[in-house]
Each structure stands twice: as C-alpha cells, then as structure tokens.
Chain A
C-alpha cells in the first residue's frame, strides 16, 4: 500500500469515526429536520408580509433577484447558510474536540498525513448536509407548492457538488486556527455573520454597496448560491454557470493551499510552544 492510498484510507477512517460518534447522539439529527424549515420559512413569511403579494413589490424583487419566487430564493440561500455553517463549525469543532479530549496528540503521533485530521472530519458533514437539502426540497414542495424541474434539481446538485471543495477549504482554514487559538467559536460566528451579509443568503447581492459587492464576489459561497438560484429559478444550464464554477474551483484551490500552509505553520509553531497538548 503506497503512502497516498494509506492516507486516503486514514482520511475515510477519520470521516467514519466522526459519523460513528455523531450517530451515538441521535438527537443531534433532530435539528436537521426542523431548522431547514423554520429558519427560512420565517424569512419567506416576512418577505410576504412586507410585499403583501403586491405585484409591484414582487416586480421590484424580481428586478434585483431575477425571480419573483421568494420561497425558492430564500430556501436556497439558507441551504447554503446551513452548509457553510456546518463546515465552518464541523472541521474546527472536530479538531477542538480532539484537543480538549486529549486525543489530538495521539493522532499526531501516527504517521498519517496532517491533512487527515484537518480535512477528514469535514467529510462527515456531507451526510447531514444531504439530509438538509432533501428537507429543504420537501418543504418547498409541501408548504410552498414549488417543484423545480428534475433537470434543474440535478444540475443544482452538480453545482453543489462542485462547490464542496471550496467550502471544505474555508472550513479547513478555520480548523487550522484551532492549533494556535484553541477556542475559535467567536471567530467562526463573526465570519459566518459576514458570509450571511455578503454572500446573498437572504437578499440579492445587488442590494449591497458597490465596494461590498466586490468583496462578495471574492467569496465562493456567493457564486454557489447565485448559480443554484440561476439554475433553479431562471432555467440556466450548467454551461451558463460554468465560468462561475471555474472561479469557485480556483478559489477552492487557493483557499485549500492557504489552509494547508496555515495548518503547517501553526502545527510547527505548536510543536515549538507545546500548544498541541494544551487547551
């Protein structure tokens, strides 16, 4: 077994270990069924309350958002938010748990690549995220009567799949900082809040000041959520969103490289200061 294959196996084992631990707390999965309904539904209802279903108001919304379908717009935004939130918390929390538990040193004393504890736990997030996407589509169908065409759903799934590396890399970047700062919860909350504001989760990016829009378009979630909406609401094809996907993949590569470099630097620093064993 060569080194790459051995590390790939270790990587899957890390994801499996996380999933096994999650499974031992079944109530954790309850949230997957009500948050994707309650959170976006409250925004959709608020949107309807503001517009009063006035055609003029809806037209104004369509001008900025590209569609009058507030429900799909907001639910897709929230799918993105929950996914991002899970990844931002997931990888960092897993590493932090290892640190608090005392198992981080046991992992670091094995010959497995350091990328295993950095990226492995993030894989475990994919299963709950799959459930969240299913719940969101079920809610749109059952409560708002929206059933996007099967082709559009399949294409948006491809957009999501191609967006995974970039969100993964963002999660890994924050996970790396656990090695230096230990508790990174408040930083994750701040960054998550900034993503909500900048990436068009509940409103179109066009509503932001121009300088903020420039920043927004440097963030992969902005592209992913916009492309999902274009595919689901405006009938765009994968070919139409391909340039965006290329940008997202490029940003993913850059972010992943930064995450690995930061992780390596902080790991060396932690091995100098003894921070690996502290919390």
Chain B
C-alpha cells in the first residue's frame, strides 16, 4: 500500500482584499470597491513523505500564504488541501497535532522566558503527555544544539539561537511533517549552515519537511524537490538538478558593457551565440545575463560583438547555473527584484 502524500493541494486559491474600506463607507453601505488579488492562484502540489520540499520564490509570491493554509492559520478561498491525508478545514485540530510549524521565527517566542520555559509551555499546548515532556524537551534542545543555553532568557540569545529554538518547538510534538517558513532569513552564513544541517537530520529521521525560501542556494542545497512560485502560481516543479537542466545552458555569463548609443545592436549580436536572459541599462552601462553552452566559446564571441558595435566590455563573470537563472528564464525577473 502506498503511503498518502504528506501534503496534497488541488487548485488552491487564496484571495485577499487590497486597500481599505472606511467605517463611513460601511455605515453608508456603499459597495465594496476594494481590489481583490489572488495571493495564491491555483496551486497543485504533492509532497511525498520523507522528502524535503522547497517553495522557492520572491517576496510576495504566495509561499507563506500557502504555508499558512496548510498550517490551518488561513482558510483557502477555494481548492482542496490534504495534510497527511486529513482535511485541515474539516479536522483542523488533528492536522495541528501532527504538524510542527516554524512560521514567524524568533518573533514567535517569549523573550522573557528561558528557552526551556518556552518549550515547557508549548509542550503543554501540543498536548505532550506530562511523563514525556521533560525527555521530549531535552531531545528537542539537543537536536538544535541548545542544551547548554536552555536556561538562559531568550532575549539573551542570538538571532540564530532563537531560530533554532523555534525549530526545537516545532519538533516537540515529534511530528511526521514539519513546515518551516523562511527558516534562515536574517541569519549569518554560519548560523544558516547550522540550521540547514539540523533540517537534513530531520530528513534522515524520516520526517517530511516543507520549507519556503527566497534563497536559491538554500533550495538548491537542501531540497529534494523545489516548486518555483511566482505571483501565486507554480511556474516549475522538479529536483534542483532537473530544474537547472531546463534552461539548456551549462554556464551563465554576466557582462557589463559600456554603451554610448543604442544597445539593440550589441544585444542582437550577443543573442546569436547565447540566450540573453536579462539585460538592464543604467548610467551608460548595459548589464547582461547570458545563458550559454560554453563560456569558453561565448566570451570571445561577446568581445567580437562589442568591437563590431562600437561598445566596450568592462566586466565579465562566469558562474555555474543556479536556480536563480531558472527563475530568471521562467519569469524574466531576478528572485530579489
């Protein structure tokens, strides 16, 4: 028998109102003229048990909204959700009992309590049996390397430690599914690596992890599969390696070209030997991102193109293909725009 997917959504939609309706408008029963926009616009998703699944996209893409609907914090406008085979709209408490969530990171902790006191409180909220509470807290603290600082006030923790404590809290109910919303945002590189290691350990314990991120490296290094999400829609979904293969390029070349007049000529010439994924002109400099099969062949061709169009190449950088390039190829925009 095949296990039910950890998460399954069908045509999931969440619509919010934009703008405000004044009290005066309400009293006068004026028609509601607020804009309605779809933060999540028909997402179909199947997350298999035991995988680390990433939702990658820029801020405002709909990642957190999707996560909150899965975690029962938001009611979808339409569509269906199953979390571990359970409908969170019909049986929200059952879903919550099986779900570890790290949603607002360090803000979601009580800074005037110690790490251990925070976990004691949440252990009770998660209905951890009293006899198991102490052992469960110790295990969660050990899992995030916080045992030695467990009795310090959270206000004395670094941001990374608070994020780890928030993860420890998500582990308290020993859930089969853990959702992490931007788990490494605001962390320094070392703390980010540390937290990613903790997440990998969860997979080795057979847990399913669903995380959102706008860091392409994080999605690339951590996730078994990634859904790239933009304007509330999934624009691509596959393993990071397969996603990178979709842009049919082995390397990415970033060029900075000094241009006096029209830049159409040089772009047209560059396009003959590579795919110009993105170009932007600012203060006489044309920044170009080109996807190519071989930088060794493309870079000399680019210099020829510049020479023949009276422009000057000022900077060349060759980098491997990343998920950022996949996003760029799919949407024409960078992740951080």
| Chain A residues engaging chain B, CB cutoff 8 angstroms | 1, 3, 6-7, 9-10, 12-14, 16-17, 20-21, 24-25, 101-103, 105-112, 116, 268, 271-274, 276-277
Contact B121 A17 (CB under 8 A): yes
Contact A112 B107 (CB under 8 A): no
Residue total for B at the interface (Cβ-Cβ under 8 A)? 38
The 9 tightest CB contacts between A and B, nearest first, are A102-B107, A13-B124, A106-B108, A110-B125, A6-B127, A111-B97, A112-B125, A111-B96, A102-B104
Q: Which of B71, B94, B101, B124 contacts A10 (CB 8 A)?
A: B124
Q: In the assembly, what is the distance between CA of A102 and CA of B94, in Å?
A: 23
Contact B124 A105 (CB under 8 A): no
Residues of B with C-beta under 8 A to A268: 75
Looking at the assembled complex, report how far the CB atom of A278 sits from the nearest CB atom of chain B, in whole angstroms.
11
Contact B107 A101 (CB under 8 A): yes
Residues of A with C-beta under 8 A to B73: 105, 108-109, 271, 276-277
Contact A21 B113 (CB under 8 A): yes
Contact A109 B74 (CB under 8 A): no
Q: In the assembly, what is the distance between CA of A112 and CA of B107, in Å?
A: 20
The chain B residue sitting closest to A268, CB to CB, is B75
Residues of B with C-beta under 8 A to A12: 124
Residues of A with C-beta under 8 A to B130: 1, 9
Q: Which of B107, B124, B166 contacts A9 (CB 8 A)?
A: B124
Contact B68 A277 (CB under 8 A): yes
CB contact list, B121-167 vs A, under 8 A: 121-127, 129-130, 153, 166
CB contact list, B68-88 vs A, under 8 A: 68, 71-75
Q: In the assembly, what is the distance between CA of A105 and CA of B67, in Å?
A: 12
Looking at the assembled complex, report how far the CB atom of A25 sits from the nearest CB atom of chain B, in whole angstroms.
8
Looking at the assembled complex, report how far the CB atom of B207 sits from the nearest CB atom of chain A, in whole angstroms.
17
Residues of B with C-beta under 8 A to A105: 68, 73, 103-104, 108
Q: Does B324 contact A (CB under 8 A)?
A: no
Residues of A with C-beta under 8 A to B123: 13
Known A17-B110, A102-B108, A106-B169: A274·B16 in contact at CB below 8 Å: yes
Q: Does B93 contact A (CB under 8 A)?
A: yes
Q: In the assembly, what is the distance between CA of A107 and CA of B104, in Å?
A: 11
Looking at the assembled complex, report how far the CB atom of B313 sits from the nearest CB atom of chain A, in whole angstroms.
48
> 21 pairs across A/B with beta carbons < 8 Å?
A1-B129, A9-B127, A12-B124, A13-B120, A14-B124, A16-B121, A24-B112, A103-B107, A105-B104, A106-B104, A106-B109, A108-B73, A109-B72, A109-B96, A110-B126, A112-B126, A271-B72, A271-B73, A273-B17, A274-B68, A276-B74
| Chain B residues engaging chain A, CB cutoff 8 angstroms | 16-17, 65, 68, 71-75, 93-94, 96-97, 99, 101, 103-104, 107-110, 112-113, 117, 120-127, 129-130, 153, 166, 169, 173
Residues of B with C-beta under 8 A to A102: 104, 107-108
16 more contacts with CB within 8 A, not counting A10-B125, A105-B104, are A1-B127, A9-B127, A12-B124, A16-B121, A17-B110, A21-B112, A24-B112, A102-B107, A106-B122, A108-B72, A108-B73, A111-B126, A112-B126, A116-B125, A271-B74, A274-B74
Q: In the assembly, what is the distance between CA of A103 and CA of B125, in Å?
A: 13
Q: Which of A14, A24, A112 contacts B127 (CB 8 A)?
A: A112
Q: What DSSP secondary structure best describes chain A's contact surface?
A: helix
Looking at the assembled complex, report how far the CB atom of A219 sits from the nearest CB atom of chain B, in whole angstroms.
27
Residues of A with C-beta under 8 A to B121: 13-14, 16-17
Looking at the assembled complex, report how far the CB atom of B78 sits from the nearest CB atom of chain A, in whole angstroms.
12
Contact A13 B104 (CB under 8 A): no
Residues of A with C-beta under 8 A to B153: 24
Residues of B with C-beta under 8 A to A14: 121, 124-125
* Best-surrounded residue of A3, A9, A14, A116 (most CB of chain B within 10 A): A9
Residues of B with C-beta under 8 A to A276: 73-74
Known A6-B127, A272-B75: A106·B101 in contact at CB below 8 Å: yes
Q: In the assembly, what is the distance between CA of A68 and CA of B120, in Å?
A: 52
Q: In the assembly, what is the distance between CA of A13 and CA of B120, in Å?
A: 8
Residues of B with C-beta under 8 A to A111: 93-94, 96-97, 125-127, 173
Q: Which of A17, A112, A116 contacts B113 (CB 8 A)?
A: A17
Residues of A with C-beta under 8 A to B169: 106
* Best-surrounded residue of A7, A106, A111 (most CB of chain B within 10 A): A106
Residues of B with C-beta under 8 A to A7: 127
Residues of A with C-beta under 8 A to B71: 109
Q: Which of A6, A21, A277 contacts B110 (CB 8 A)?
A: A21
The chain B residue sitting closest to A116, CB to CB, is B125
The chain A residue sitting closest to B68, CB to CB, is A277
Q: In the assembly, what is the distance between CA of A13 and CA of B113, in Å?
A: 13
Q: In the assembly, what is the distance between CA of A10 and CA of B125, in Å?
A: 5
The chain B residue sitting closest to A269, CB to CB, is B75
Residues of B with C-beta under 8 A to A103: 104, 107-110
Known A103-B108, A274-B16, A277-B68: A109·B103 in contact at CB below 8 Å: yes
Q: Which of B65, B113, B122, B129 contacts A110 (CB 8 A)?
A: B122
Residues of A with C-beta under 8 A to B122: 106, 110
Residues of A with C-beta under 8 A to B166: 106
Looking at the assembled complex, report how far the CB atom of B243 sits from the nearest CB atom of chain A, in whole angstroms.
30
Looking at the assembled complex, report how far the CB atom of A98 sits from the nearest CB atom of chain B, in whole angstroms.
9
* Best-surrounded residue of A12, A102, A111, A273 (most CB of chain B within 10 A): A111
Q: In the assembly, what is the distance between CA of A17 and CA of B113, in Å?
A: 8
